[in-house]
Amino acid sequence: MNRSKLSNVVRLDEHKKSPGLTDRTRSGPLLKHCRELASSTLISALPIVMDKLDDALFDLANRSGNSKEQGVYFETMRQVRVKRASIETEFRRFFKESVRSTIERVAGSTRSNSLADTSSADLGLVDEGDFEETLAVTNMVRKIRRDCKQLLYALERRIAELLAVDELKPEDNPFGPEAMCNAFKDACSQIDAGVEVRLIILKLFDRHVGAEAEQLYGAINDYLVSQGVLPEIRHYVKIQPSAARPTDHHANGQQSYGHPGPGSQVPGATLYQPVQENGATTATPMVATPTSAVLLDALRQIMDVNFTNRTGTHTPGEEQLRVVSQLTHLQHGDTEAACEEFASLDVSAVHTGTVNVLRDLKQVNVVSGMAEIDAMMFDVVAMMFDFILDDKKMPAPMKALIGRLQIPMLKVAILDKEFFARKFHPARKFLNSIADAAVGWSEDQDRNDALYNKLESMVGRILDEFDARIDVFAEVQAELDSFLDWEENRAENTASTFADVIQDRERLTLARKNAEELTTRCLEKAGMHSVVREFLVGHWKELLFIRHFEEGETGDGWKSAVQTMDDLVWSIAPKTLNQDRTHLTEVLPGLLRRIRDGMKQLGIPAQLASNFLGALKKLHIAAIRNEVCVGDPDEVRELSGVATAENGADIDSAGLDSQDIDFQWSDEATYSVEELSLIQLAIERANDVIYGTAEARPECAGMGTTLVAVQFHDSRLTAAHVGDARLYRLRRDVFQRMTADHSLRQQLVNKGIYTAEDVEEKIQSNVITRAVGPESTVDVDVQEIATERDDLYLLCSDGLTDMVDDVALAEILCDHQTDLATASRMLVDTANKNGGRDNISVVLARVLSTYPDSMPGDEEFDPKAKLDMYGLTDVGIKRSHNEDHIAIDADLGIAIVADGMGGCNAGEVASEIAVKIVLEALRNGSVDSITVTSGDGIRTSRVAADEQLTEASSQASALLNHHDEQIVIQGLGADVAYEPEEEDEYTEIVRNLDVGSWVEFYHVDGAKTPARLTWMSPVTGRYLFTDRKGMKVADATIHGLAVEMKRGNVAIIEDVPLFDRIIGTITEHLHADGARAH
């Protein structure tokens, strides 16, 4: 069977029963041979993994920060060396058992006679172990499936034929990547090591054994074809359904891969006429171009693995070597040493890679004496480079790099016909690797990056070293693979930080939801006294939330807190039976101890904790007496050792005594001003709009924004903030943070659960606990601050404060107190220098003189003369676009910074909504007149890395877009008829995306951002997309992404290797030309 054809997708409706496999008794031996072939191939690659693991553990030990950690790595090294043979044996056993078990399950039998020599023990349930390890295995499986998609599909068709089933699901393939990856994970379970080491082991397996999967699946397919199992399968390159793109996105004539547009050069008979000059044939004799039918027949021959097997890899003939030698001189730019026919060629055209020069090379004196099939390689390879050079989707510099390989690829085609028949031919693989690397590469941003420079050096090496030795392609490919692995690891590390943020955000939401639901369930029980109700709602629910976030539902702390709440509610209910009274006295000491521990963790002050325990004691006495206490617990008579005729039980109340606990009973007041201020009302209005938008539009699910806003008036300012956007003040030499973050870390520090130092170790990412938009209501912190002359105020997003500590912020502002533009730029530059992990926004406001006691609208109110303002927002180093918005209005003393998050481009929409609503409300002095509508289907414009800085100064204040007194928010896209949970062809396409799949996001300015699916949340199914460097582009729900795809704002980049697309398109057009000729 032709391996290159296997790389395409088989039509589902063209399954043909194999004419050569009528005897089903042959299935067992064939499957058994496949199993042995697979296990021996995989086992042979394991020693490399073990060697590399030993080296990796030694490096970790050398880099470890303490002797204890170093000892762990050395002990793991010892285990690996001792158990190495056992791991290989267990891997083989697990793999074979998995194959046998899967075959038996699919075939529907309890035992396979054909595999009778295999152990009959059932393969037990696999313990998935640590979540990260399981996720790593899942990603390995997805990667192998993506890289071997076509080979696996063909293998699944053939295994289905052997097992006599109509269709074999990918997960039911006994030789699928699940079998090999899980077998290795289980075999390594005998190594007693932490998750970090286990992940290293799996990564090495992925790199050194997973890479063998392509050859393994090709070998199994070839074996089955040789045995007559489905030798004939019709193929075509699958073009996946995609959304209709708006016409303005292709105004430049760009087309999708494999779809030449009108007027593009299409391979066919009319394309290959002799070169004409002024209507006359050139003097140089040219060879007539074969007809489309002849070329198509030749293409079929050289793509047929059976043809190449028959012809063999014989030593090149004299004429072949003569032509290859002449081409090598031309490849090196030495036209004088080449034949006379090549002397007049433009060498610059050969080396720029932008012009197809191959047809000019096919001259009579060059190809005379060559075999017909060799002469036709000039035409076939020329057609290949027609496709490449006409490909509008590939960046021009990358296309030119491939174009420089025209002569080397022609030489390969002449020397080795397996170039067309073998999917993993080194020259073919190198061609595909360059094209794959070009996906996600930007000419504007990446022109001189490490990837382009590496590819350029690899192409240069081919041009310099390739004469007739094809092995040079394998050597170059190995070097390129090593570099790409390094780049991928670096991108994965970067992307993991964004995945951690999303995952922690989801954990936070789930923890809050579960704590709320369980508390509500308890409150619904009859007989709940108000003292216990207030304790559960005000405090114990917070403990449930913290323990769920830290441990999840399986954690002992979470289970204990839930059980304590249930026991507490049960304990205060009247006890009518003696056995219940007895049981209460037995469990009470342990229950009170757990309550005290919980209150200690929550930081409830000693006096208030004592008051609660005292009241609880009286409720327990009432319960034992079978009394109902609905009022003040003090009204219940306290007895020390109750013994009544009714219950007959001796009760020891000593366990009911309270103990002093060092903690806090209630939170401080939310606001430092009592009245609902205008700025607070404006933020609440923004919250309503953002939340309502996210509820109505699937693509906006989870969107929100942090925000800090100020307005100067009457020698003071009113400040409001939500989330971790901050306000600082520099007054003389004192630099002070004026806001407290609404984050989990800050919350735990405020409650005394952790110190400021410990919380960073315990809570890996600073998850915000409040934002504008994600929930139906929002708590806003508002304060009024007296201002003084020369005060300098800084409003900023966390993109600045995560990268620059407070000391450095103070130094920069002290050095540039009067030059706000320079100070702003230095703040941004410092954040980028330190890593620039997020968008960075700053607004500086300096008080030039105190304000008069007046309000906006009064004639004497002139804040512009009293304030100097400057704002700057930057995309950062590790983000592809900017989700921040800022606004300043020096005339009215208003400054706002918002940092958006969530959704498919929805973060920038959320921050824009918040900024516009708050700005307009403060300008108008009211929120009542604000009406918000969405735009007419126009996507929001991005701030890309090549347009990083957006500035705003008092001379150019941020303005609103007004249309008939309405605030128009552009960026939500045109409305489409779409239910939040609707399932259609678009959701199916999204669900079928694998980790590693590439898509393209379109923007209003015509820009396109390619992005790779890097991570899928195991909790919510949310998708994270990053660029090729691992920087976040978007995160979206399945239905949100489907809506954007339906609108045409997202398109899938087809995951078909370049060579397969080329052959598919050439074949298609030769067919069409042949049909027209007849």
Of the candidates 742, 811, 805, the residue with the CA atom closest to the CA atom of residue 779:
742
Residue 257 predicted with pLDDT over 50: no
pLDDT(439) > 80 = yes
Phi, psi of 131 (to 5 degrees): -60, -45
DSSP codes of every residue in 1017-1047: -TTT--EEEE-TTS-EEEEE-HHHHHHHHHH
Strand positions, DSSP E, 216-303 = 235-236, 276-277, 280-281
Residue 534 has pLDDT above 50, yes or no: yes
Across 43-57, average pLDDT: 80
**Shortest CA distance to 880 belongs to which of 947, 961, 953?**
947
**pLDDT value for 813:** 94
Question: pLDDT tens for residues 269-284?
Answer: 333 333 333 333 344 4
The pLDDT of residue 277: 35
Q: Is the dihedral of CA 345, 349, 353, 354 positive or negative?
A: negative
Report residue 449's pLDDT band, with 50, 70 and 90 as the boundaries: confident
Tokens coding 760 = 């960073």
**Mean pLDDT along residues 73-90:** 84
Query: What CA–CA distance (Å, rounded) separates 258 from 435?
Result: 13
- Can you give the pLDDT at residue 288? 59
Strands 962-963 and 867-874: unpaired
pLDDT in tens, 599-657: 888 888 888 888 899 889 888 888 888 877 655 555 544 333 333 333 333 434 333 33
CB 102 within 8 A of CB 172: yes
Q: Taking residues 385-411, what's their average pLDDT?
A: 91
| Residue 194 near residue 128 (C-beta atoms within 8 A) | no
Query: Would you say residue 522 has pLDDT above 60?
Result: yes
| Integer angstrom CA distances of residue 516 from 524, 596, 602, 723, 924 | 12, 21, 17, 21, 39
d(Cα 599, Cα 677) in Å, to the nearest integer?
35
Residue 73 has pLDDT above 70, yes or no: yes
Q: What is the C-alpha to C-alpha distance for residues 769 and 351, in angstroms, rounded to an integer?
A: 58
Mean pLDDT of the region 141-170: 85
In this predicted model, what pLDDT tens digit does every residue of 883-894 receive, in sequence order?
A: 899 999 988 899
Per-residue confidence (pLDDT) for residue 398, from 0 to 100 = 92
Q: Which helix (H) or strand (E) holds 51?
A: helix 27-63
pLDDT over 50 (residue 335) = yes
The Cα 811–Cα 805 span in angstroms is 10
Q: What is the pLDDT of residue 265?
A: 35
Per-chain mean pLDDT for the chain: 76
Closest CA to 437 of 481, 376, 384: 481
CB 1014 within 8 A of CB 999: no
Looking at residue 843, its pLDDT comes to: 96
Torsion angle of alpha carbons 358, 362, 363, 365, nearest 10°? 120
Strand partners, 846: 792, 868
- The residue with tokens 């382009």 is 452
* Sign of the Cα pseudo-torsion (293, 299, 302, 303, in order): negative
**How far is it, in rounded angstroms, from Cα 558 to Cα 962?**
51
Asked whether the predicted pLDDT for residue 861 surpasses 70, the reply is no
Q: Bigger pLDDT: 291 or 990?
A: 990
Percent of the chain past pLDDT 70, that is, above it, reads 73
Per residue, the 3-state secondary structure of 172-201, as one string, reads HCCCCHHHHHHHHHHHHHHCCCCHHHHHHH
Q: H helices then E strands: how many in the chain?
A: 38, 23
Cβ proximity of 655 and 588 under 8 Å: yes
pLDDT digits (tens, 9 = 90+) for 208-224: 776 678 888 888 988 89
Least confident of 556-560, 863-867, 1038-1042, 1051-1055: 863-867
Q: Which of 111-115, 1015-1019, 1069-1073 has the lowest mean pLDDT?
A: 111-115
Alpha carbons 172 and 165: distance in angstroms, whole number: 11
Most confidently modeled range among 68-72, 346-350, 744-748, 802-806? 802-806
pLDDT, tens only, 188-207: 888 887 777 777 888 878 77
pLDDT tier for residue 477 given thresholds of 50, 70 and 90: very high
Q: Which residue has the higher pLDDT, 339 or 636?
A: 339
Structural domains in the chain, sorted by start:
3-120+127-235 (no CATH), 258-469 (no CATH), 525-656 (no CATH), 678-741+772-969 (3.60.40)
Model pLDDT, residue 347: 67
873 within 8 A of 909, measured Cβ to Cβ: no
Cα 555 from Cα 549, distance rounded (Å): 10
Judge whether 350 and 409 are in contact, CB under 8 Å.
Answer: no
Checking if the pLDDT of 711 tops 90, the result is: yes
**Is residue 670 scored above 70 in pLDDT?**
no
Query: Residue 357 to residues 275, 445, 1044: CA-CA distances in angstroms?
Result: 12, 30, 42
Distance separating alpha carbons of residues 623 and 572, to the nearest angstrom = 5
Nearest-angstrom CA–CA distance, 1010 and 373 = 40
Rounded CA-CA distance 843/820 in Å is 9
How many Å apart are CA 595 and CA 343, to the nearest integer? 93
Residue 313: pLDDT band (50, 70, 90) is: low
Nearest-angstrom CA–CA distance, 829 and 818: 18
Residue 418 CA to residue 303 CA, distance in Å, equals 8
Q: Say if residue 995's pLDDT is above 50.
A: yes
* pLDDT band per the 50, 70, 90 thresholds, residue 981: low
Contact 57, 77 (CB under 8 A): yes
Contacts of 767 (CB under 8 A, 6+ apart): 501, 504, 505, 507, 508, 743, 744, 745
CB 831 within 8 A of CB 876: yes
pLDDT band at 404 (very low <50, low <70, confident <90, very high): very high
Q: Are 1016 and 499 in contact (CB under 8 A)?
A: no
Q: What is the mean pLDDT of residues 374-401?
A: 90
What is the residue-wise DSSP string for 115-146? GTTS--S--PPPP--SHHHHHHHHHHHHHHHH
* 422-426 mean pLDDT: 86
Q: Sheet of 1008-1016: strands edge to edge?
A: 1032-1036, 1023-1026, 1008-1016, 998-1002, 1050-1053
Residues 2-42 pLDDT 10s: 433 333 333 333 333 344 444 556 788 899 899 988 888 88
Decide which of 591 and 715 is more confident. 591
Neighbour count for residue 289 (Cβ, 10 Å): 20
Q: Report strand pairing: 932-934 vs 966-969.
A: parallel
Sign of CA dihedral 737, 742, 745, 746: positive
pLDDT one-digit tens code per residue, 915-942 = 999 999 998 888 876 666 544 332 333 3
Closest listed residue to residue 919, CA positions, set 623, 613, 710? 710
pLDDT-derived band of residue 808, with 50, 70 and 90 as boundaries? very high
Most confident of 34-43, 50-59, 236-245, 744-753: 34-43
pLDDT at 445: 67
pLDDT in tens, 840-859: 999 999 998 876 544 555 55
Which of 147, 148, 128 has the alpha carbon at shortest distance from 138? 128
d(CA 737, CA 756): 15
235-256 exposure pattern, b = at least 16 Cβ within 10 A, e = fewer: bebbeeebbebeeebeeeeeeb
Tell me the residue type at 30.
L
What pLDDT sits at residue 350? 74
Which residue from 238, 211, 181 is spatially nearest to 14, judged by alpha carbons?
A: 238
Rg (CA), the chain: 35
Q: Give the confidence band of 1019 by pLDDT, cuts at 50, 70, 90.
A: confident
Ranking 51-65, 206-220, 561-575 by mean pLDDT, the lowest is: 51-65
Minimum mean pLDDT range among 253-267, 494-508, 942-956: 253-267
Beta carbons within 8 Å of 414's beta carbon, 6+ residues apart:
316, 320, 323, 324, 374, 377
Here the contacts of 80-83 (C-beta below 8 Å, separation 24 or greater) are 80/50, 80/53, 80/54, 80/191, 81/54, 83/190, 83/191
The sign of the torsion formed by the CA atoms of 988, 992, 995, 1001 equals negative
664 versus 1019: which is more confidently predicted?
1019
Q: Extract the tokens encoding 494.
A: 């970067």
The span from the CA of 1039 to the CA of 698, in Å, is: 6
CA distances from 904 to 247, 600, 693, 971 (A): 21, 42, 13, 11
If you search the block for the tokens 């006409």, which residue do you land on?
390
792-796 and 840-847 beta bridge pairing: antiparallel
